[in-house]
Amino acid sequence: MLFRNSMATCVVAFSLIPYNMQKWTEQEYDGYRLITQEKGATLGYSPASGIKIIYKDGYAFKDLNHDGELDVYEDWREPVEKRVEDLVGKLSIEEIAGLMLYSNHEAVPATSYDISTYNGKEYKESGANAWDLSDNQKRFLKEDHLRHVLVTIIESPEVAARWNNQVQAYVEGLGHGIPANNSSDPRHSARADAEFNAGGGGKISQWPGPLGLGATFSPALAKRFGEIASEEYRALGFTTALSPQVDIATDPRWYRCHGTFGEDPKLTADLARAYCDGFQTSKDEDEIADGWGYHSVNTMAKHWPGGGACEAGRDAHYGFGKYAVYPNNNMKLQKIPFIEGAFKLEGKTGMASAIMPYYTISYGQGSENVANSYDPDIINRQLREEARYDGVVCTDWLVTADEKHPGIHSGKPWGVEGLTVAQRHYKALMAGVDQFGGNNDIVPVLEAYRMGVKEHGEEWMIKRMRTSARRLLLNIFRTGLFENPYLNAAHSAETVGCPKYMKEGYDAQTKSVVMLKNHASCLPVSGKKKVYIPTRHVPAYRGFWGNMIKAQDITPVSQGLMSKYFTVVNTPEEADLAIVFIESPNGGCGYSLEDVKAGGTGYVPISLQYDDYTATHGRPQSIAGGDPFEKFTNRTYNGKTTKTVNKGDMDLVISTRKAMGDRPVIVSINLNNPTVMKEIEPYADALFVTFDVQNQIILDFVTGRSEPSALLPMQMPLDMNTVEKQAEDTPRDMRCYQDVDGNTYDFAYGMNWSGVIQDERVKRYR
């Protein structure tokens, strides 16, 4: 069972049931009680919530609405669908509107994203525990009836578990006792400079980033990740994962390439299917029905109908990237990972339980040029009718908020900038959306309801609201939250980042690294070599979110860790070999506020090379354009120059090569986007690409403790002219770079100690 509770205190439960008919026992824990039943559901409840227990037929049930009767939705013996139907019919419009809210980012304790108080005081001054509810959290849970909370930063697994229990106890005593469906964005990526220590995890197990899972070309590994991640998520109190990101990265410049499984639709579909199966499936005693149960975590696959076709790679978090374009009319390809993957699971849960549309205006692909969440053709027809999807559709965060400027991170109401916030909610509801990401406020949802009553009548609009409520409640019921939403904090601390999961995560990282080059079989090396690893310098720059990032001198691997593999030297002159750790080029986001201030349009190229890049082959006329803040529609950037933030990475490789002479230079590039390798490859004897893993993995390869086995999930372009000529909506359409050994850095290319890999994965996907 998921909830292993130790060191509990046995409580003698008093009732009028004869002892020989009583089918349950009750135990007390820190702040809650568990009722364990013979051949029945385990119930968790908090005495502080004020709810009572109803006893019937020798079993126990929670009286969640305080009416003294056993309602159908409170009866765990009834089918989930019947319970949902019963509860939906009892809810007020205010309660349904609250279900439609999905909170903005919440930190535990609440100190990171906004000024949040505890009893009117800031956290540090309040004397509150880290797991206490903030004033704001209490407000939106009670006054706005919100039940879906997105949690980002957590202090520790134990704190997360205790906070979860506080939330559940609080909402258990409100209204119909609907539990909170807490959730998380992906949180398993590794820290590059961390040393592997199976017993030193604590916060969570460390795995390769999504592109790294893609590089394994292994659906089995993606499924195993989902199984482990769901155990850790449930131990943290999360029953929804805002993942997987199954967009295909068809434009190599797109900022979010690193969050995808790569650019191939078939591979992405297979990985998406396995990932969702791993997260959602419960087995044996953990299963409630149809594969769902106490082990399950709802997956929210994103971003329908595919976000990888942003024009010129500009991302839709900003107005400058609001348009996705389809020069080769390849919208159907973008949908394959959903229709053939996330909507066609092998496990009993059938399909991903939730979908998030992307911010983009899918230009020319819907009934009107508005963002996907507002387009009834893209949601109601293409998703609901054609794809036969009946799960939750949740907007991406802040789509209903106001835009401040195309170059300032703010609201993203693309195509409906002229509507009020309430009108945007109404338009999205009419398009088929169920839930509003990043909105804690019930007021505009209720205003949207009243608009619907005025246009369609009260009966019609109540039915529309209840349709969304049914979908939203289904995800809460089938994960067992109505029976037991409580966690044992000690068990959470033991589960999250436990030695077994840390080891599996590290092994997965090893399988995710691609070796591109091993000239003259220079690797692996034997003996304890003298090794030089240069410090990496990154100058100050403005980050994607508009924040200034300070200059950094980065030590890729600690001297203590290095000494376990090599003799560490401080200069290249002393070394037998050098290992250089760098990042792929950070070529900007495609927009410059400085250019605007100088009288330009703001649009500049995104570069995938380290050296300065001037665009000469970009589109003279953009396919799409237009924004309330702009007096033009042509977003071309031809003739403009981009300076890459980390040009120093290229310089570091070249200078190390020069200093090392004929001695081997090994280069490891952490890849966020495809990279123009001609600037780096000639200076490297061995070349690896990694996807958010621990740098220790490279030391394992260099010394032969592990053998590389991964394949490129994306093409590496010959040059930037090639990048400019490819189509945003088309995968694998670039001329790829060929190295000095004659190997082409194409999709599904990789090397092991024997040479270029030619295995079943290559045959299946290339």
- Residue 24: band (very low, low, confident or very high) from pLDDT cuts 50, 70, 90: confident
pLDDT of residue 412: 98
Q: DSSP labels for 353-371?
A: SEEEE-SSEETTSSSSSSB
Residue 423, Cβ neighbours under 10 Å: how many?
17
Distance CA 491, CA 6 (A): 8
pLDDT of residue 12: 36
From residue 722, alpha-carbon distances to 168, 310, 585, 745 in Å are: 54, 17, 16, 14
pLDDT of residue 134: 96
**Is pLDDT at 10 greater than 80 in this prediction?**
no
Pick from 216, 246, 251, 247: nearest CA to 731: 251
**Is pLDDT at 202 greater than 90 in this prediction?**
no
What average pLDDT does range 186-207 have in this prediction? 78
Instruction: Determine which helix (DSSP H) or strand (DSSP E) holds 512, and give its type and residue range.
Output: helix 499-512
- Residue 301: band (very low, low, confident or very high) from pLDDT cuts 50, 70, 90: very high
What average pLDDT does range 320-342 have in this prediction? 98
pLDDT of residue 546: 87
**Is pLDDT at 7 greater than 50 in this prediction?**
no
218-238, pLDDT tens digit by residue? 999 999 999 999 999 999 999
Tokens of 251: 């434009």
User: What fold, for 513-587+643-765?
Assistant: Rossmann fold (3.40.50)
91-114, pLDDT tens digit by residue? 999 999 999 999 999 999 998 555
Q: DSSP labels for 719-766?
A: -HHHHHHS-TT-SS-SPBPB-TTS-B--TT--EETTEE--SHHHHHH-
pTM of the model: 0.95
pLDDT of residue 6: 39
pLDDT of residue 114: 55
Q: Quote the distance between the C-alpha of residue 103 and its chain's center.
A: 16
Burial 333-372 (b: 16+ CB within 10 A, else e): bbbbbbbbbbbebebebbbbbbbbbbbbbbbebbeebbbb
What average pLDDT does range 27-46 have in this prediction? 95
Residue 50, Cβ neighbours under 10 Å: how many?
14
What average pLDDT does range 339-367 have in this prediction? 98
Residue 432 DSSP symbol: T
Dihedral angle computed from the Cα positions of residues 715, 537, 691 and 407, in that order, rounded to the nearest 10 degrees = -70
pLDDT of residue 197: 65
- Residue 193: band (very low, low, confident or very high) from pLDDT cuts 50, 70, 90: confident
From residue 98, alpha-carbon distances to 146, 182, 442, 456 in Å are: 4, 14, 6, 22
137-180, pLDDT tens digit by residue? 999 999 999 999 999 999 999 999 999 999 999 999 999 999 99
pLDDT of residue 250: 98
| Residue extent(s) of CATH 3.40.50.1700 domains in the chain | 513-587+643-765
Distance CA 46, CA 170 (A): 9
- Residue 264: band (very low, low, confident or very high) from pLDDT cuts 50, 70, 90: very high
pLDDT of residue 198: 57
Query: Could you tell me if 247 and 358 are in contact, meaning their C-beta atoms sit under 8 angstroms apart?
Result: yes
Strand boundaries in 540-685, DSSP class E: 541-542, 548-549, 552-554, 567-568, 577-583, 613-614, 641-642, 665-670
What average pLDDT does range 42-49 have in this prediction? 96
671-692, pLDDT tens digit by residue? 999 999 999 999 999 999 999 9
Burial 629-667 (b: 16+ CB within 10 A, else e): ebeeeebbbeebebebbbbbbbebbbebbebbeebbbbb
Dihedral angle computed from the Cα positions of residues 63, 66, 71 and 76, in that order, rounded to the nearest 10 degrees = -20
What average pLDDT does range 649-664 have in this prediction? 98
**Is pLDDT at 328 greater than 60 in this prediction?**
yes
SS3 301: strand
Residue 48 DSSP symbol: G
What average pLDDT does range 564-573 have in this prediction? 96
Tokens of 434: 């169920």
Instruction: Determine which helix (DSSP H) or strand (DSSP E) holds 299, and give its type and residue range.
Output: strand 298-304
Pick from 364, 543, 442, 378: nearest CA to 101: 442
Tokens of 531: 């090794």
63-83, pLDDT tens digit by residue? 999 999 999 999 999 999 999
518-534, pLDDT tens digit by residue? 999 999 999 999 999 99
Dihedral angle computed from the Cα positions of residues 658, 662, 666 and 671, in that order, rounded to the nearest 10 degrees = 50
What average pLDDT does range 617-635 have in this prediction? 97
476-494, pLDDT tens digit by residue? 999 999 999 999 999 999 9
Residue matched to tokens 């760098």: 582
pLDDT of residue 4: 38
Computed over every residue of the chain, the mean pLDDT equals 95
Tokens of 75: 């009866």
Rg (CA), the chain: 27
Tokens of 263: 């650019």
- Residue 15: band (very low, low, confident or very high) from pLDDT cuts 50, 70, 90: very low
Distance CA 485, CA 164 (A): 8
Dihedral angle computed from the Cα positions of residues 389, 361, 252 and 625, in that order, rounded to the nearest 10 degrees = 170
- Residue 551: band (very low, low, confident or very high) from pLDDT cuts 50, 70, 90: very high
pLDDT of residue 111: 81
Residue 478 DSSP symbol: T
Report the range of poorest mean pLDDT among 195-204, 428-437, 600-609. Answer: 195-204
Q: DSSP labels for 142-174?
A: HTS---EEEEEEES-HHHHHHHHHHHHHHHHTS
Distance CA 123, CA 126 (A): 5
Distance CA 168, CA 48 (A): 11
Within 174-209, residue ranges assigned H as helices are none
**Is pLDDT at 308 greater than 80 in this prediction?**
yes
Query: Could you tell me if 237 and 496 are in contact, meaning their C-beta atoms sit under 8 angstroms apart?
Result: no
**Is pLDDT at 196 greater than 80 in this prediction?**
no
pLDDT of residue 367: 95
Is the previous residue joined to 572 through a cis bond, with omega within 30 degrees of 0? Answer: no
